[in-house]
């Protein structure tokens, strides 16, 4: 569900709103590629007394940081990198990040998109693509909860928060992704 606030003339028509068409495509789009392999990640901690404030991992599998021993008590930003191929004949393209904990900022070929704050974490990336190999960078920032648990500062009934780029990350083609 979407709640759009503003005066009538300022609100986009539902058919023209790019976020809504990207959300529709993330559900109904034709799968072009699943980006499951080839990821690397640089993690920068937001916890002041973290013994390892920066970490780099190559050839990683996407998933929740809380499931990995070396990141389970971490809060900060993980920047994931990968590449993929795109041909113009594949049509309009939507990037669907799947599950994300918590905020994602996407860059395609170095061009940054607005932050993705809520599900669905999907965006029309067609205008950012070039024929052939494209670079994808997704920076995910989680909450401070996991870092506070690691520092002994958080004692609550709930455990660690979902963190990182969990996925699955998919490229989808959909006729409604771009309104001409």
> Could you give the CA distance from residue 127 to residue 26 in angstroms, rounded to a whole number?
17
In the numeric block, the tokens 């939507």 are attached to 94
Q: What is the CA radius of gyration of the chain?
A: 18
**Among 19, 14, 8, 9, residue whose Cα is nearest residue 120:** 19
- By CB neighbour count within 10 A (0-12 exposed, 13-18 middle, 19+ buried), where does 102 fall? middle
Q: Tell me what the mean pLDDT of segment 30-52 comes to.
A: 90
At residue 47, the 3 state secondary structure works out as: coil
Average model confidence (pLDDT) for the chain? 84
Proportion of the chain above pLDDT 70, given as a percent: 82
How confident is the model over 66-78, as pLDDT tens digits? 888 888 888 999 9
Using the predicted structure, report yes or no on whether residue 96 has a pLDDT greater than 50: yes
């Amino acid at each position: 569900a979407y709640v759009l606030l503003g005066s009538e003339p300022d609100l986009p028509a539902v058919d023209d709103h790019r976020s809504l068409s990207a959300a529709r495509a993330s559900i109904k789009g034709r799968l072009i590629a699943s980006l499951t392999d080839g990821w690397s990640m640089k993690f920068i901690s937001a916890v002041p007394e973290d013994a390892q404030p920066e970490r780099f991992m190559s050839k990683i599998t996407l998933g929740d940081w809380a499931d990995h021993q070396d990141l389970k008590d971490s809060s900060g930003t993980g920047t994931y990198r990968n590449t993929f191929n795109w041909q113009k004949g594949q049509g309009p393209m939507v990037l669907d990040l799947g599950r994300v904990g918590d905020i994602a900022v996407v860059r395609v070929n170095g061009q940054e998109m607005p932050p993705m704050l809520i599900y669905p974490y999907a965006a029309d990336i067609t205008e950012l693509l070039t024929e052939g190999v494209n670079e994808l960078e997704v920076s995910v920032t989680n909450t401070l909860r996991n870092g506070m648990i690691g520092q002994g500062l958080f004692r609550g009934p709930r455990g660690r928060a979902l963190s990182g780029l969990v996925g699955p990350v998919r490229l989808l083609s959909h006729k409604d992704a771009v309104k001409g």
